[in-house]
């Protein structure tokens, strides 16, 4: 349960930063990998997120503008990632979905829809979802 509390603390901090930096361009945030499936190696594992944004948030080539990346990075660097070594992101939008590996979530939940993966805010693979609606409710599904 200690790990779950630490993951939730990090998720809450990351979610707040992302919403503040991206505003209306934020669609959803998924934490995945060992943070939700288990097998974390303290001080070695990273905590993996997939950040979903509106297409217009991205520059040509499917990347966030450098000033936005720097602002997000600056704030994320203030988060204590322990027991993880660091925080890692992939960024996706409707235009970039085809270039990402399969994401273990339901698209409607990741895109701010009303469908829930399950009552805990996680799908069968354990990926936890944060959407615009859940952030308005305090970051929890």
Candidates 88, 80, 81, 76; CA nearest to 51 is: 88
Residue 83: cis peptide before it, omega within 30 degrees of 0: yes
Q: What are the structural domain ranges in the chain? A: 2-136
Q: Where do we find the tokens 């200690």?
A: 2
Rounded to two decimals, the pTM is: 0.70
Of the CA atoms within 13 Å of residue 14, those in its CB half-sphere come to 26
Q: Which two tokens stand for residue 112?
A: 């701010």
pLDDT at residue number 3 = 85
CATH no. of 2-136: 3.30.460
Per-residue pLDDT of the chain (141 residues; tens, 9 = 90+): 678 899 999 999 999 999 999 999 999 999 988 888 889 999 999 999 999 999 999 988 888 999 999 999 999 999 999 999 999 988 988 887 654 444 443 333 333 433 333 333 444 445 555 655 544 444 444
- 56 preceded by cis ω (within 30°)? no
As a whole number of Å, the CA-based R_g of the chain is: 14
């Amino acid at each position: 349960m200690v790990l779950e509390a630490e993951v939730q603390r990090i998720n809450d901090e990351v979610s707040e930063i992302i919403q503040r930096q991206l505003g209306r361009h934020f669609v959803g945030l998924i934490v995945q990998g060992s943070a939700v499936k288990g097998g974390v190696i303290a001080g070695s594992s990273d905590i993996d997120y997939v950040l979903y944004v509106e297409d217009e948030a991205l520059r040509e080539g499917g990347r966030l503008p450098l000033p936005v990346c720097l602002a997000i990075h600056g704030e994320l660097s203030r988060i204590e990632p322990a027991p993880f070594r660091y925080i890692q992101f992939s960024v996706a939008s409707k235009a970039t979905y085809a270039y990402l590996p399969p994401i273990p979530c339901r698209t409607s939940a990741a895109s701010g829809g009303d469908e829930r993966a399950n009552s805990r805010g996680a799908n069968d693979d354990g990926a936890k979802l944060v959407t615009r609606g859940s952030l308005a409710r305090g970051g929890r599904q």
